[in-house]
Chains A and B, each alone.
Chain A
């Protein structure tokens, strides 16, 4: 079939070439209108933003001479990119043999940031032909980055960590490297993890997304309240922000010790010793009505001055003087005296090791007895010594 078609066409083509040769002699230097036709089957098509459209354009030489045309794309909307290639290279001019067809490739990139609508541009063979091409952008295009989270608000105590998960979407045409940073209040530690590792930046493919988890550690002694934690992912041209919120609930912690931390002291049996104790609010909420109590051995007396603390702000401490009176029958050695500071919410214990010392009085009495006996012997010496 093919050979028969060529066979019967050949005389027609030869005739046409002859005719062109006769009439078109004067226009041999440049292609005239109608000498060259441009053809592509898809004159109008739809494409989403960010898509890349590839046209195959036939350049048809209608004459019997070689036609050289300069190809260009006119009326192209801004930010649209187009490239003409043939044989793997970008081309500017194209020559077509008489009565033959040459194919060029037109690559048109629809930008991401583009409005919905019809865009028309023209492929022109300079002075010879033009081919209008229409692209219907099917959706509103974007060129942006998105940082989203499904759960921006979390609640926890001052000692807990807050774990958020964020999704970073790259809606640009290129692969982006995003620097992750947070603008948390002072003292807050914010760390980003991707793929189980701590990161400070992530790279996201075009139109891709990346899950990022954020771990937020509140500072020591943070007060109860709601804290805003803005985090951002900054790329080359675009950036995105998300605001996380951490709600710190108040914690109650109380500590009882001595100012120096020394919990061992000594006491003489039957006597009173004053020990200064320190009550500290280590929580993030104020403590109210702290009561001091003690658990001492039998017949020991412990009194506190003051015995009650009305209010203690977070982080503050106050001193309480404990008067410990040892039992007069206490045996020498160590005893345990435990003290408790108690509020409705929390209590703290301090255990004092009291080393009881026996009164030295009986030691002196013993020495006196020995001195008396020695004195008696001395008296005998004097009386019976016969000196």
Chain B
């Protein structure tokens, strides 16, 4: 947990133009980076945050975990798909996207891994953003520098988010490239666009968990508390939430032939489920990566009559998941806003 201190050293190096007595080579480098950062203290902190994250063991372990699971799911999916490529012609449309959504039997598909491990990545990068600096006393020393107070929080968020974004895009394009090698089929432009949107969506989704963990790191003084509560929320949403929804929504209507009541109940259940960001994420990714998904809610027979099972164009898929997308972006921003307010109203004292 030396990163916050490094940040401080970087800042100090930036403002005083010299190394501290303990200033090692990284600090000097950070100082040099700070010099180049167009004079803005915000960008200096962002740069320092990024370099800290990238060099930390925590990040390396998380990336290795993501990489291994993704490559494993890619491998099993592609080996299952190779046998299917010549047989079914209907499968061939948007075949490349199947790489991300198809499961090879023994392992869940790529998107499941992202929706499961993504929160861990966000939590891992954000749970001690503020409180560890605080507990080590570096926050008050940093605040002693002529920088805006909110720059610290903003830079924490932006730095971690850009690291996540870069990682997702790198991982996504790596999988795409490996997919071309393994399958021998290049993706169509629409498939590439869908994948890029999926990666953006994943970044936003992890951004939400990052915002939440930063919020908790502002709220709780102990890093362990915020980490535990973050993981608690994560496990709650991924394991217990669906049970809770069933409990709240109650059993379905007594008469299963009452179509209206059944639909109302299903919509109610769906509304409750959509409180969970992972539900929003899985709905959005499924729609983006499986173009044949045409609706997410319950469908009446009236809507299905005369409908042809055909893939949706990208614009229509995007419109379909637009509420989910809006919700996720809004949730992320709201988490950030709350942590911003909390942080700005907090008292920052020096420990000694």
What is the CB-to-nearest-CB distance from A293 to chain B, in angstroms, rounded to a whole number? 15
B315: nearest chain-A partner, CB-CB: A357
Query: If the complex has contacts A297-B302, A331-B307, A370-B326, are A386 and B150 also in contact, measured as CB distance less than 8 A?
Result: yes
The minimal Cβ–Cβ distance linking B296 to chain A, given in whole angstroms, is 10
Contact in complex: A380, B340 (CB < 8 Å): yes
Whether the Cβ atoms of A333 and B345 lie closer than 8 Å is: no
Please tell me if the beta carbons of A332 and B337 are within 8 angstroms of each other in the complex.
no
- Interface stretch, picked from A14-22, A252-260, A334-342, is A334-342
Q: Which of B19-27, B121-129, B222-230, B328-336 contacts A (4 or more CB under 8 A)?
A: B328-336
Q: A331-B294, A333-B312 are in contact. Are A386 and B306 (CB under 8 A)?
A: no
Question: For residue A360, which residues in chain B have a CB less than 8 angstroms away from its CB?
Answer: 319
Bound CA–CA A120/B88 (angstroms): 96
List B contacts of A355 (CB < 8 A): 313
CB distance B306 to A332 under 8 Å? Answer: no
B337 to chain A: which residues have CB within 8 Å? 373, 376-377, 380
Q: Is the CB of B148 within 8 A of A333?
A: no
Residues of B within 8 A of A370 (CB): 326, 329-330, 333
Query: In chain A, residues 362-376, which have Cβ atoms closer than 8 Å to a Cβ of chain B?
Result: 362-363, 366-367, 369-370, 373-374, 376
B305 close to A298 (CB less than 8 A): yes
* Chain A residue nearest in CB terms to B300: A329
Binding site secondary structure of chain A? mixed
Binary contact track B144-164/A, C-beta < 8 Å → 1, others 0: 000011100000000000000
- Chain A residues with CB under 8 Å of B150's CB are 381, 384-386
Within A304-327, the residues touching B (CB, 8 Å) are 327
Query: With A332-B295, A334-B308, A366-B325 known to touch, is A387 a contact of B319 (CB < 8 Å)?
Result: no
Contact B308 A335 (CB under 8 A): yes
- List A residues 235-286 near B (Cβ within 8 Å): none
Tell whether, in the assembled complex, residue B316 and residue A358 are in contact, meaning their CB atoms are under 8 Å apart.
yes
- Complex alpha-carbon distance, A386 and B341, angstroms: 12
Q: Which residues of B contact A333 (CB under 8 A)?
A: 294, 307-308, 310, 312, 316
Query: Is A353 part of the binding interface, using a Cβ–Cβ cutoff of 8 Å?
Result: yes
> Residue of A at shortest CB range from B338?
A380
Distance in Å: Cβ of B192 to nearest Cβ of chain A: 21
Nearest chain A CB to B123 CB, angstrom units: 22
Residue B258 lies at the interface, judged by CB distance under 8 Å to chain A: no
A333 to B295, CA, bound (A): 9
Is residue B89 within 8 Å, beta carbon to beta carbon, of the partner chain?
A: no
Chain B residues within 8 Å of A385, by CB:
148, 150, 344
Distance A386 CA – B343 CA, assembled complex (angstroms):
12
Q: Please tell me if the beta carbons of A327 and B148 are within 8 angstroms of each other in the complex.
A: no
Q: CB distance B310 to A336 under 8 Å?
A: no
**A44, CB-defined interface residue at 8 Å:** no
Count contacts between A and B, CB distance < 8 Å: 102
For the complex, give the distance between the alpha carbons of A298 and B300 in Å. 10
The verdict on B290 contacting chain A, using a C-beta distance below 8 Å, is no
* Residues of A within 8 A of B (CB-CB), count: 36
Given contacts A331-B294, A369-B326, contact A336 B308 (CB under 8 A): yes
Q: Min CB distance, B96 to chain A, in Å? A: 21
Chain B contacts of A300 at CB under 8 A? 306
Flag whether A296 is at the interface (Cβ < 8 A): yes
Give A196-209 as 1s and 0s: 1 = Cβ < 8 Å from B's Cβ atoms. Answer: 00000000000000
Q: Is the CB of B341 within 8 A of A380?
A: yes
Cβ of A330 under 8 Å from chain B: yes
Instruction: Judge if B77 is at the interface, Cβ distance under 8 Å.
Output: no
| Complex-state Cα separation, A380 to B335, whole angstroms | 13
Nearest chain A CB to B143 CB, angstrom units: 11
A97 to B9 Cα, complex, angstroms: 161
Alpha-carbon distance A381/B322, docked complex (angstroms):
27
B48 to chain A, nearest CB (A): 21
Our pick among A331, A366, A387 for the contact of B295 (Cβ within 8 Å) is A331
Question: A385 CA to B42 CA in the complex, in Å?
Answer: 13
A135 to chain B, nearest CB (A): 87
A299 contacts the other chain (Cβ, under 8 Å)? yes
Choose one: B303, B322, B329; the contact of A362 (CB below 8 Å).
B322
Residues of B within 8 A of A336 (CB): 306-308
Q: Which of B302, B310, B322, B323 contacts A334 (CB 8 A)?
A: B310
Q: How far is the CB of B322 from chain A (nearest CB, A)?
A: 5
Pairwise interchain contact B333-A335, C-beta atoms closer than 8 A: no
Q: How long is the Cα–Cα vector from A296 to B302 in the complex, in angstroms?
A: 11
Q: Which residues of A contact B333 (CB under 8 A)?
A: 370, 373-374, 376-377
CB distance from B266 to the nearest CB of A (A): 15
- Shortest C-beta distance, B300 to chain A (Å), equals 8
Other-chain residue from B312, B325, B336, B340 in contact with A384 (beta carbon distance below 8 A): B340
Cβ–Cβ < 8 Å partners of A297 in chain B: 302-303, 305-307
Q: CB < 8 Å: which of A296, A330, A373 contacts B303?
A: A330
Decide if A386 touches B303 in the complex (CB within 8 Å). no
Which residues from B are CB-within-8-Å of A381? 150, 340
Evaluate whether A331 and B319 lie within 8 angstroms (CB atoms) in the complex, with A366-B325, A384-B341 already known: no
**Residue numbers in B under 8 Å from A369 (CB-CB):** 326, 330
Q: A333-B310, A335-B306, A384-B344 are in contact. Are A363 and B319 (CB under 8 A)?
A: yes
Bound together, the chains give a CA A370 to CA B329 distance in angstroms of: 7
B341 touches A332 (CB 8 A): no
Q: Looking at the assembled complex, report how far the CB atom of B301 sits from the nearest CB atom of chain A, in whole angstroms.
A: 8
Q: In whole angstroms, how far apart are the Cα atoms of A297 and B306 in the complex?
A: 5
Closest to B317 in A: A332
Q: Please, could you name 30 A-B residue pairs with CB atoms under 8 Å apart, sorted by A?
A: A296-B306, A297-B302, A297-B305, A297-B307, A298-B303, A298-B305, A329-B300, A329-B302, A329-B303, A332-B294, A332-B312, A332-B316, A332-B319, A333-B316, A335-B307, A336-B306, A336-B308, A353-B308, A357-B316, A358-B320, A367-B326, A369-B330, A370-B326, A370-B330, A373-B337, A376-B337, A377-B340, A380-B341, A381-B150, A385-B148
Q: Which 8 A-B pairs have the closest CB atoms?
A: A297-B306, A366-B326, A384-B344, A298-B302, A334-B308, A331-B295, A333-B294, A332-B316
Q: Add 9 more A-B contacts to A329-B303, A333-B310, A336-B308 (CB < 8 A).
A: A330-B303, A331-B303, A335-B307, A360-B319, A366-B326, A367-B326, A380-B340, A381-B150, A384-B340
